Structures are given as C-alpha cells and as structure tokens.
Structure 1
Amino acid sequence: MSYSYKCLLVHHIGDGVFHVQLNRPKQLNAINPEMWEEIEDVFRKLDTDSDCRVVIFSGNGRAFTAGIDLKSFSSNLTDLMAKDHDVARKGREILRLAEKMAVAFNLIEKCTKPVIAAIHGYCIVRELAVGFAADQGTLNRLPKIVGNHSWMHEIAMTARDFYGPEALQQGYVSRLFDTQEAMMAAAKETANAIATSSPVAVQGTKIVLNYARDHSVDESLRYVAIWNMSQLQTEDMAQSAVAVMTKGPKPIYAKL
C-alpha cells in the first residue's frame, strides 16, 4: 500500500509496527482539512494492511498538535455562510462537514490495530474558547475514559490548560516520561510487545473493549462469546497454549 502524504509521515519501523506522525511542524501540527482527510485515509489502509499489527501515533516537531487549524476552518465556514441559502440549508451543510470530520477520528478508534498515542508538547482541545461545543468526540469519549465527570465538566467549560501530572491523575494518559526520547522508546517497546502477540487475540481484544465501553456487562459477555465462536478455533490459540505449558518462546504468529 502507498503511504505517501503531504501532512503525515508514515513509516513501517519493523516487526509489524507502523509509525504515523502529524507533519505540519511549523504550524505545531494544527489540523487542517487536508490533514483530516489524510488521517481518514491512513487508518482505513492500516486497518486492512496485514503487515501492520500496531500503530504509534505522534507529532513531528515541537508538539503533538495545536488542535484545529482555525484559519483554514474559519475560511471554509465563512465561505459556507456567505452562500445565498436559508438557515436550514446552511445547517445541513455544516452537519455534513462535521460528520465528515468525525469520520477520521472514528477510524482511529475503529481501526482493529491498537493505536498508541505518544503525546509531547501541546495537545490542545478547547473548542469552547473559540465559541462552540466540541463536536469531534471530546465531549463524547473523554468522560468515559477519565471516569471523572466533575473534572471533565470543569475542563470542557473553562477550556483551561492542564499538564502531565494532572492528566495522569485523572486517567487521561497512562504514563509520563521525562523526555520525548524516553516516551518514544517506551512506545516502541510497548508496540513490539503487542506486535509479537497473536494478532487474532490482540485485534479481538481491542474490538471487544470498544464494544464493552458502550454496552452493559450482559451485552458485552454475549458479544465476546459470539466473537470467540470462531476465534477460539485458530492456530494461534493452540500455539500459544503449547508455549505457555512448555514455558517455551512466544510463537511467531501468521499475519491476519
């Protein structure tokens, strides 16, 4: 597959690990419409690329991302609002734009390959500060991730900055590092550990975890049982069982 982009850098760094970097360093990786489309494209491809088992997602330069490129999107919105349409028709166009933008971030979540976010510098999410409610998943996903609705309400409604220790305390991130180099080394170590495990088990685990987040325990138990009707019949499980019982090396699993 071709992974050549204007606003992204994509490298297959070996052993099933791909590295996707936001690549507008002079703009602190602010996300413009072109980058949005490229994020959608790359995660569609990685989802079906059998050479990919896990993805590291980071930003090139001084920051992960400065958030939405306000200049680009303000220009698009200004052009839309200048059209000789009534409010209903303009509203439909805004809805289509918002839904199209949401697809890119949805695909990161729905990609069956685990995605490790390696965040350094800025990671700005504060739509309220520019006059609208966040509509690309911040208000929908983060309350379920951090599990602290009071803190989430405060952050969303004040648009204040917060830093690594607070993010770790609230469950927004899983680990902190003193340097970007240490962070990337840990990301690669984690990615390699995942990539050498059974892709059937890894991808199934991500899919079931995503399902469980939005469903009841009973619904999730039923879902994983149905999922494993086929997944328990793979060679991966037999190979893994032998390795565990004999205390042998981890098997080399076939691509999926």
Structure 2
Amino acid sequence: MANVLVERAGTDVVLLRLNRPEARNALSPELREELRDLFLALDRDESCRAIVITGDMRAFAAGADIKAMAEATPAEMMERDDETNWAAIRNCRKPVIAAVNGYALGGGCELAMHCDIIIAGKSARFGQPEVKLGIMPGAGGTQRLTRAIGKFRAMQLLLTGDFLSAEEAHVAGLVSSVSEDDAVVGDALALAARIAALPPLAVEEIKRVVLTGMDMPLEAALKLEMRSAYLLFGTADKGEAMRAFVEKRPAVFTGK
C-alpha cells in the first residue's frame, strides 16, 4: 500500500494525501522517502504549478514513527540521511500548501512548516512534543517555529511539549487561515488553483526571494528582490499579462 496517495486536482494542482491512517500518518522512513521522490518529480513536472499536502480528519501527521526510533542509535539516525528527504520539500520551487486536520505534531508540525501556506481546520492541533520523549526536534522545529511565532512563545511550546489550537496558531502567525474541518482540503485546493493560474515564473521567483531573503540582512535582501523583479521583465508571461490587462481579456500563461 502506498504511504502517499497522489491525486490530480484539475490540470495544474497535485494533491498529496498521507496514507498511514492506522498510525495517524506518522512519518515512517518509508513515507518520508516516498514524499522525497514525489517532490523531486513534481519539481520537474511543468504541468504541476501548485501542490497541496494533507492527511485525514484525525491527523495531518502525528509525528515521526516512534516504533522506528525507539532502539535507534545516533549512527543509525545519521545513516538514514533524513536531511535529503526534507531538502526535497524545502527546495521545491512550486508553492506548497498544507491542509491540516487533526494533529500536526513533531515531524508533522515540521512538515507543515516546510510548506509555504498552512490552512488549518478548527479542530487542528500543532505542537513539538519531542521533549516528552527525551529528544528534541531535528527537522526545523526549533528554528522554523521560533521564526514563525517568536522566541518566547516557541520556547514555551518546545520546553513543555504543549499544543496550540488552530485559532491560537493563527493568532500567533503559524497558520495562514482557519477553515471548517470539512472544508480544509477544498479551501486549500481552491487557493492552489488560484495561485496555479498566475504566471509560474513570477510565483516561483516570489517564493525563492521570500525564503532566501529571510536569512539575509535587510539591505542585501532588498537588492535580491530588486534584481529578481527586474529579471521578470524579460519573461514572455510578463508581456502577456500586461497586454491582457490593457486589452481587458484573460491572460494565457506559458511559464516562459
């Protein structure tokens, strides 16, 4: 049985559905490898312009697979080369939307934070409870959570293992928007379709500049932004978009 189900939602959007319901979609090594291969393929797939990733109503992903880690040694953890799996998601040029129902804990919360937008159902819960198992986040939980919600709120969550409700996560800045539980995936797909209908090169460059600029001094990031903005003036889609605006007609974008 596939650990990740792949569905086409229209012509430009791909839905990835984590498929380990018996384990609340815990991120087993096999599941992470499947995600890696899918993201590498979708990054190269010109017909894919946006990706939505989700779980089920009980859990987006309730952390890593504890059974697979219980007896693991440091050397064995390093041999898994999990960084390669996460890098495939982190470096994907397509916009990625997390549609979160239920629990997004530990590695599940880290997976959501690897995405560009997070839409949460009202009953969703977010957290990094690794401390309760005598370990700590290892796929960005300490760093991405701190950047998203600030040092003091992040420290409280990381050091206690407490959860945030969907509304608390939204107020804190971790979640983009909150939907009714049964509307989460539909809302995420609708948003993905809106983004997929826009000029792909502009979408890709905005994502790249935002993520790269976050770790740069402001002046350097502003120069990166300006250079990238000017480069988009050389694209065919820029010409098409502006002509369509002047001519009051729908634009047709080719990603060129």
TM-score by length of 2: 0.85
Query: Which structure has more strand as a fraction of its residues?
Result: 2
CA distance in 1, matches of 2:42, 2:157: 33
What is the deviation of 1:61?
Answer: 5.1
Find the residue that maps to 1:51 and give its secondary structure.
Answer: coil
| Deviation (angstroms), 1:224 | 3.0
Q: Which residue of 1 aligns with 2:233?
A: 232
Amino acid at match of 1:25: P
Equivalent pairs counted in the alignment come to 234
| One-letter amino acid of the counterpart of residue 14, structure 2 | F
Shift of 1:247: 3.3
- What is the CA-CA distance between 1:102 and the residue it aligns to? 2.6
Matches within 5 A, 1:163-182: 163-180=165-182, 182=183
Identity %: 29
Q: In the alignment, which residue of structure 1 is the partner of 2:219? A: 218
Could you list the per-position Cα deviations for residues 172-224 of structure 1 after superposition, in whole angstroms to 9, with x for gaps in the alignment? Answer: 101111222x1122111111110110001011111111011111222112223
**Relative contact order, higher structure (CA 8 A, sep 6+):** 1
Please identify the structure whose Cα radius of gyration is greater.
1
Partner Cα distance (1:47, 1:60) in 2:
24
Q: 2:66 aligns with which of 57, 62, 70?
A: 70
CA RMSD after TM alignment: 1.8
Deviations 1:136-188 (A, max 9, x none): 11111121122x211000000000122111111101101111222x1122111
* 2:46 corresponds to: 50
2:203 aligns with: 202
**Structure 2 Cα separation of the partners of residues 60 and 8 of structure 1:** 12
User: Is the partner of 1:118 in helix, strand or coil?
Assistant: strand
- Structure 2 residue runs of 5 or longer lacking an equivalent are 107-128
Per the TM alignment, residue 229 of structure 1 is displaced from its structure 2 partner at its CA by: 5.2
SS of the residue aligned with 2:70? helix
Equivalence for 2:159 = 157
For structure 1, the residue ranges without an aligned partner over 5 or more in a row are 82-90
TM-superposition CA deviations, 1:44-65 (whole Å, max 9, x none): 1111110100000101352111
Alignment equivalent of 2:87, drawn from 99, 106, 109: 106
